[in-house]
């Protein structure tokens, strides 16, 4: 018997058989999803409360995973007697904002930062009980700050704020859309764990180089109504002398103070665009806290490698797909499943796309990893290596075709 992790794989669409025949429907991706789930969901018992971790996509993103696939996951859980709930966490920040595109056309961005806006986008994209058959619940609460602190011995981190609601479920199924990412190089099962299952505090740790702080040269309490204090959800800000002070031991990195401060540059934050490797390693530290505190045997993974752009579902414009559809992958090992997707992406040819001059590009040949080739500041090996260091699984896998 092989000691390698098993990754089940169903290829993308094949040539169509006879219309409406059983042989034709076996090639359908929704049917293949069920075949993968029948192999992977071996740990679900009747009456288990099952959290189905999803990412419904940001507003104006058109490459998010179709809700149809998640509906198949819900149906498979119910068939085993489980009680499914769609689970998700809030995005970085606290408020959405408007951009005026023209005189009579305004769009809303960053619509995953709080429960009200996030739920509207999820419903718009089909992630609601009336459509997929299971309710949606936010693991980190309405504001994204409800968490349980978990001690770890990570590459960088020693404590992680895991979303508190995660521990309400008997089993978790991590449903991921495999795609590129502007900083982590790619998004799959590992990123769903390391970013999608933690509260805002540890999302902030990934995306910023320093803690939020007050710029005493610019902060002037006589020129404001102390909006930073009234907006802070955890009372981490107070006035000392002539300026505000942030208690970092209480701060949860929601950035509400930064957003609402009326004085320019009174609050400092430094977005991480330089230490990308460190960002990726911290994400895998987060993932280790999630898996170790919850239990690796209680989690199963399914990756949908369809409609694969260079950017993630968090961004509003993910650009064009960079490789053809690669299929559906399922496993109990988050490293193995992501490595299998990366290997398939590397071995596939790239798709041509229009450049800024309106010219079609030449496809990148098979054997070249496409995400790094198109975005040289990232490296897919950083995420995989950091996950291995955190003992999240194995890069050695056996691919079993369904």
Rounded mean pLDDT of 168-177? 98
Check if the beta carbon of residue 166 is closer than 8 Å to that of residue 139: yes
In this structure, the dihedral spanned by the alpha carbons of residues 327, 328, 333 and 336, taken in order and rounded to 10 degrees, is 0
Q: Do the bridges between strand 159-163 and strand 147-151 make them parallel or antiparallel, or are there none, so unpaired?
A: antiparallel
Check if the beta carbon of residue 205 is closer than 8 Å to that of residue 159: no
Domain boundaries, the chain: 5-207+273-401, 213-268
Amino acid 1: pLDDT: 44
Lowest mean pLDDT across 6-15, 170-179, 197-206, 283-292: 6-15
Better pLDDT: 192 or 272: 192
Please say if the pLDDT value at position 249 is more than 70.
yes
CATH class of the region 5-207+273-401: alpha beta
Task: Summarize pLDDT for 250-268 with one digit per residue, the tens.
Answer: 999 999 999 999 998 999 9
| Residue 18: band (very low, low, confident or very high) from pLDDT cuts 50, 70, 90 | low
Backbone angles phi, psi at 306, to 5 degrees: -125, 150
Rounded mean pLDDT of 113-133? 95
Amino acid 238: pLDDT: 96
Which residue is it, tokens 């609460």?
A: 141
Cβ neighbours for 19, distance < 8 A, ≥ 6 positions apart: none
Check if the beta carbon of residue 338 is closer than 8 Å to that of residue 384: yes
Q: Which of 64, 58, 70 is nearest to 34 (CA)?
A: 70
CA distance linking residue 190 with residue 340, whole number of Å: 13
Check if the beta carbon of residue 4 is closer than 8 Å to that of residue 397: yes
Amino acid 2: pLDDT: 61
Q: Report percent pLDDT > 90 for the chain.
A: 86
Q: Report percent pLDDT > 70 for the chain.
A: 98
| Residue 32: band (very low, low, confident or very high) from pLDDT cuts 50, 70, 90 | very high
Amino acid 377: pLDDT: 95
Amino acid 272: pLDDT: 87
Q: Which tokens hold the place of 161?
A: 């704020």
- Domain 213-268 adopts which CATH fold? Alpha-Beta Plaits (3.30.70)
* pLDDT, the chain, mean: 94
Cβ neighbours for 92, distance < 8 A, ≥ 6 positions apart: 113, 200, 203, 204, 207, 255
CA distance linking residue 194 with residue 188, whole number of Å: 10
Amino acid 15: pLDDT: 65
Cβ neighbours for 12, distance < 8 A, ≥ 6 positions apart: 29, 305, 306, 324, 325, 326, 327
E strands within 152-200? 159-163, 171-177, 179-181, 185-187
Check if the beta carbon of residue 331 is closer than 8 Å to that of residue 5: yes
Backbone angles phi, psi at 20, to 5 degrees: 65, 10
CA distance linking residue 402 with residue 12, whole number of Å: 11
């Amino acid at each position: 018997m092989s000691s390698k992790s098993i990754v089940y794989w169903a290829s993308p669409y094949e040539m169509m058989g006879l219309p409406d025949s059983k042989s034709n429907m076996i090639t359908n991706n929704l049917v293949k999803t069920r075949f993968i789930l029948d192999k992977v969901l071996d740990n679900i018992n009747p009456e288990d409360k099952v959290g189905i971790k999803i990412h419904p996509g940001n507003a104006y993103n058109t490459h998010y995973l179709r809700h149809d696939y998640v509906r198949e996951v819900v149906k498979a859980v119910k068939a085993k007697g489980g009680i499914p709930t769609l689970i998700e966490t809030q995005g970085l920040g606290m408020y959405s904002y408007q951009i005026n595109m023209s005189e009579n056309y305004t769009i809303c961005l960053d619509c995953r930062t709080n429960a009200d806006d996030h739920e509207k986008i999820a419903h718009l994209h089909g992630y609601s009980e009336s459509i997929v058959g299971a309710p949606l619940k936010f693991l980190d609460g309405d504001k994204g700050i409800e968490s349980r602190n978990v001690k770890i011995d990570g590459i960088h981190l020693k404590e992680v704020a895991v979303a508190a609601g995660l521990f309400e479920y008997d089993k978790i199924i991590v449903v991921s859309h495999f795609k590129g990412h502007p900083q982590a190089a790619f998004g799959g099962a590992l990123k769903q764990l390391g970013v999608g299952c933690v509260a805002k505090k540890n999302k902030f740790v990934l995306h910023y180089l320093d803690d939020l702080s007050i710029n005493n040269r610019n902060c002037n309490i006589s020129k404001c109504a102390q909006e930073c204090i009234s907006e802070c959800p955890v009372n981490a800000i107070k006035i000392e002398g002539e300026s505000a002070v942030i208690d970092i031991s209480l701060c949860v990195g929601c950035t509400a103070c930064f957003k609402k401060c009326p004085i320019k540059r009174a609050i400092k934050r430094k977005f991480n665009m330089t230490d990308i490797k460190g960002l990726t390693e911290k994400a895998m530290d987060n993932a280790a806290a999630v898996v170790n505190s919850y239990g690796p045997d209680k989690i199963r993974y399914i990756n949908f490698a369809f409609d694969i752009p260079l950017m993630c579902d968090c961004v509003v414009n993910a650009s064009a797909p960079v490789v053809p559809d690669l299929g559906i992958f399922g496993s109990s090992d988050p490293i193995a499943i992501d490595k299998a997707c990366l290997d398939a992406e590397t071995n596939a040819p790239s798709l041509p796309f229009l450049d800024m001059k309106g010219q079609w590009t030449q496809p990148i040949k098979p054997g070249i990893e496409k995400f790094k080739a198109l975005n040289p500041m990232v490296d897919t090996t950083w995420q995989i290596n950091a996950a291995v260091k955190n003992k999240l699984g194995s890069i050695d896998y056996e691919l079993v075709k369904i």
